[in-house]
Amino acid sequence: MAKHIGAETVVFSKPVSIIAAASTAGTKEGEGPLGKLFDRVLTDNMAGEETWEAAESAMVKDNLSILFEKSGVRPDFIFAGDLQNQCCGTNYGVKDIKIPTFGIFDACATFGEALALAAMTVDGGAAENVAAGVSSHFCSAERQFRFPLELGNQRPQTSTYTVTGAGAAMVSNKDVPPYITAFTIGKIVDYGVNDANNMGAAMAPAAAECISAHLRDTVRAADYYDLIVTGDLGYVGKELLLQLLKNEGIDIADNHTDCGIEIFDKASQDTHAGGSGCACSAAVFAAMLYKRLKKGELNKILLVPTGALMSPTSIQEGKSILGAAYAVAIENGVIKWNI
């Protein structure tokens, strides 16, 4: 039975497990520091398809099949989303799998939303096994949000590099660690940022609000967690996040990292402020964080996928970029919440 505590948080007192995680990465991600940890690394970012969009859908389908195989189950439902207009990366990716799918969208924070909804669905008894998965593709994202790649535009130093990849987790009522013990749905934060090449600045205030609300709602100190891992703030957003939380008296300098920082090597890969995209947090979770939890190297993490809500139309119409964040507590023990 889930319980709603504080302003924005839901806690689970019975086991809601993540029994498997799967990751697929593009060529550049495969050359990065986590390259050997991904389940699949593309040898060509077209993935045998004729368009980037179709390549993304192919990754979605293939990564889910890896997840089904690793977990040994075919889920009752899928929660999935991506960055393509009308979530086409997901829809054309799942259509042949023939499992009822809930389409969700929260920009690059979608993996957090997927885990939260999958956990509620399993906890409430509506399903035994639910897959949560997301994807992104550098080329489909650039074409859609910024400039045709053929223009060869220079990317400013504050920009992040959309991860080509897919990540997914199988959430289950089987009692196997690690468990999803709580989640916090951050409020949308409008900090007035309207530079589409500086998403880190737009998202950091939302991440700060969400982490702060999570710690307040759960009555936990920041150092309760072995690691607080934001999704794709990158180097620019990370500095802002640490400062914003410090202003509230919360210091996470020693136990924070960001998936956008982990996935590329800054010195050699020319990715500027770091990685981003729905797949950034999901693939890093599946490839690295989940494995470290299974090994007991980490026992309590707070995964905080972050999203920048905007479209080219909203930017052209002068709207600021909205920040969103979902915090998901993943721990090796079940928590008997009595808040």
Give the whole-angstrom CA distance, residue 163 versus residue 283. Answer: 9
CB of 127 to its own copies, least distance (A): 5
C-beta of residue 261 within 8 angstroms of C-beta of residue 228:
no
Contact criterion met (CB below 8 Å) for 74 and 97:
no
Nearer to its own copies, 100 or 333 (CB): 100
Kindly tell me which of 31 and 128 has the beta carbon lying closer to its own copies: 128
Contact string 279-318 vs its own copies (x = CB under 8 A): ------------------------------xxxxxx--x-
Among 63, 71, 101, 135, binds its own copies (CB under 8 A): 101
Place of tokens 């690394």: 41
Which amino acid type is present at position 31?
E
Helix (H, G, I), strand (E, B) or coil at 164: coil
339 binds its own copies (CB under 8 A): no
Q: Which of 55, 120, 134, 193 binds its own copies (CB under 8 A)?
A: 120
Best CA proximity match to 162, nearest among 145, 135, 138, 146: 138
Among 31, 190, 195, 251, binds its own copies (CB under 8 A): 190
Would you count residue 14 as binding its own copies (CB under 8 A)?
no
Q: Does 144 bind its own copies (CB under 8 A)?
A: yes
Q: How far is CA 17 from CA 154, 222, 263, in A?
A: 43, 23, 25
Pairing relationship of beta strands 306-309 and 322-331 according to DSSP bridges:
antiparallel
Q: Is 81 in the site for its own copies (CB under 8 A)?
A: yes
Query: Could you say whether residue 48 binds its own copies (CB under 8 A)?
Result: no
At 283, which helix (H) or strand (E)?
Answer: helix 278-284
The phi-psi region of residue 308 (left if phi > 0; otherwise alpha if psi is between -120 and 50; otherwise beta) is: beta
Q: Which residues bind its own copies (CB under 8 A)?
A: 1-4, 7-8, 10, 50-51, 53-54, 76-77, 81, 83-88, 91-92, 94-95, 98-107, 113, 116-117, 120-121, 123-128, 144, 185-188, 190, 309-314, 317, 319, 322, 324
